[in-house]
Structure 1
Amino acid sequence: MLSRSILTLAIGAAIISIGSCRKKEDTIAKIYVLDQNNSRVAGATVELIGEETGGSEGHGSLRAPKTATTNEQGEATFNYNDIYQLGQCGVAVFKIKASLGGAVGNGIIKVEQEETSEETVFI
């Protein structure tokens, strides 16, 4: 009887420890910048400005703009791993501002935890 209880506790502890070893996935926002001819724009400045939503209260760093420059494929990548923690649920919504020279484009992207979210902006 005692060995059965110990076995049950050991199995329970093993299940709990296995569940707690889950690796956190990346939380990425990718913005593609295209011109009016649907050509990808390299060298554009992309700024993401956060708007707090239901799952992001208390994360003042979401409101601080992040800036990146598009690569040769017209893509700007933002990593938000520092915002989301394992077990946390929530969504962040960002305003997008892309610019190159005098051309400007705006948009919105919804970023979900542990996923790669993508949006296209035309300038």
Structure 2
Amino acid sequence: MSYLSHVILATAIGSISLTADSCVKKKDTIAKVTVLDQDNNRVSGATVQLIGEPSTGTTGHGAVNDPKVTTTNDQGEATFNYNDIYQLGQCGVAVFTIKASLGGAVGNGIIKVEQQKTNEERVFL
């Protein structure tokens, strides 16, 4: 094989390797909070808020620091999608304060959200 053939072969193999790496599909980064009453029953219609705490030494507001709010479904679950925060190949964890309420009942908690996983936590009202 000539030198030129080796160069072409090496270039082709390198191109295939780069293409294969770029086909990795990013998985969803989800925070799921289940709201329960004192009798361990799931609570639908509760308001759930996730509030991110800024990291030490950071300034300004980013997507993690902006609170997200939703209502629990019939199974008592509130689901938050954080795909907009995590990029493929990025490492990191975000910690959110959970505030849940329905009527006069209030519950609090903390959830650690890791990238490309469904992260789950329970809160009692």
Task: Please confirm whether the aligned pair reaches a TM-score higher than 0.5, indicating the same fold.
Answer: yes
Does the Cα contact within 8 Å between 1:47 and 1:66 map onto a contact in 2?
Answer: yes
Q: Which has the larger radius of gyration?
A: 2
Task: Give the superposition deviation at 1:58.
Answer: 7.1
Q: Tell me which amino acid in the other structure corresponds to 1:63.
A: N
Change (3 A) 1:109 1:116: same
Which residue in 2 is equivalent to 1:50? 52
Does the Cα contact within 8 Å between 1:59 and 1:83 map onto a contact in 2?
Answer: no
Percent identity reads 69
Structure 1 residue corresponding to 2:116, chosen from 77, 100, 114: 114
Change (3 A) 1:118 1:14: same
Q: Tell me which amino acid in the other structure corresponds to 1:20.
A: S
Q: Tell me which amino acid in the other structure corresponds to 1:106.
A: N
Q: Tell me which amino acid in the other structure corresponds to 1:42.
A: S
Unaligned runs of 5+ in 2: none
Task: Give the superposition deviation at 1:61.
Answer: 1.7
* RMSD, matched Cα: 1.8
Which residue in 2 is equivalent to 1:103? 105
Matched residue count: 122
Which residue in 2 is equivalent to 1:16? 18
Q: Tell me which amino acid in the other structure corresponds to 1:116.
A: T
Runs of 4+ in structure 1 deviating by more than 4 angstroms, as ranges, are 56-59
Unaligned runs of 5+ in 1: none
CA deviations over 1:34-77 (Å, ceiling 9, x no partner): 001000000000000002348x9876121111001001100000
Structure 1 residue corresponding to 2:40, chosen from 19, 38, 41: 38
Q: Does 1:29 align with 2:63?
A: no
User: What TM-score, normalized to structure 2?
Assistant: 0.90
